[in-house]
């Protein structure tokens, strides 16, 4: 059992060695270790505050991006609406112009038809007059080929003229 229980001398020298190590650590190592710990703590706090600032800045940028995106969507919708309105106005204008042109062409066609109708009626009248004259001329030649018929016709005309 002597191996398990330490002797008084061993405890004394271990205590002296511990105190010397503790003194040396307190004299030379304690301040640099504490300084390093404080610096580490300060750098961690700085890093945390920088992270918090970065987080706030990211949130701000994200809000700005959302705002810009919303404005861009509104502008896009506005441009699309203006383009649609312009297209509809252009189609409506073309439709009105086509209707006006169609009405003008119909009026011109009606006028041309009316002119052609008048010309055809005039031509028919002229042909009827020419045919009537031709028929009358043929009848008169046939009737006036005989001298007795000529005298009788002249006498009828004279009676009609004097009666009127």
Mean pLDDT of the 99-113 span? 93
Q: Identify whether 18 is part of a domain.
A: yes
Following DSSP, what letter does each residue of 99-125 receive, concatenated? HHHHHHHHHHHHHHHHHHHHHHHHHHH
Residue 83 lies in a domain: yes
Global pTM value? 0.41
Identify whether 1 is part of a domain: no
Distance between CA atoms of residues 105 and 112, nearest Å: 10
Domain that holds residue 134: 8-163
pLDDT at 71 over 80: yes
42-67 tens-digit pLDDT:
999 999 999 999 999 999 999 999 99
Residue 2 lies in a domain: no
Domain membership flag for residue 3: no
Integer Cα distance of 46 and 39 in angstroms: 10
pLDDT of residue 137 exceeding 70, the answer is: yes
Instruction: State mean pLDDT over 140-159.
Output: 76
Phi, psi (deg, nearest 5) at residue 110? -65, -40
First to last CA, the chain: 186
Domain annotation covers residue 119: yes
Instruction: Name the domain count of the chain.
Output: 1
Return the percentage of the chain with pLDDT > 70, whole number: 95
């Amino acid at each position: 059992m002597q191996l398990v229980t330490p002797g008084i001398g061993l405890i004394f020298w271990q205590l002296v060695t511990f105190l010397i190590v503790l003194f040396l650590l307190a004299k030379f190592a304690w301040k640099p270790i504490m300084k390093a710990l404080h610096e580490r703590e300060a750098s961690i706090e700085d890093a945390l505050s920088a992270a918090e600032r970065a987080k706030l800045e990211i949130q701000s940028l994200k809000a700005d991006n959302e705002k810009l995106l919303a404005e861009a969507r509104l502008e896009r919708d506005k441009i699309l609406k203006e383009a649609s309105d312009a297209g509809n106005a252009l189609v409506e204008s073309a439709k009105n112009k086509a209707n006006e042109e169609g009405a003008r062409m119909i009026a011109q066609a009606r006028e041309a038809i009316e002119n052609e109708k008048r010309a055809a009626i005039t031509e028919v009248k002229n042909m009827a007059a020419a045919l009537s004259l031709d028929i009358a001329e043929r009848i008169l030649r046939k009737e006036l080929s005989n001298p007795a018929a000529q005298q009788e016709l002249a006498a009828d005309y004279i009676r009609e003229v004097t009666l009127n």
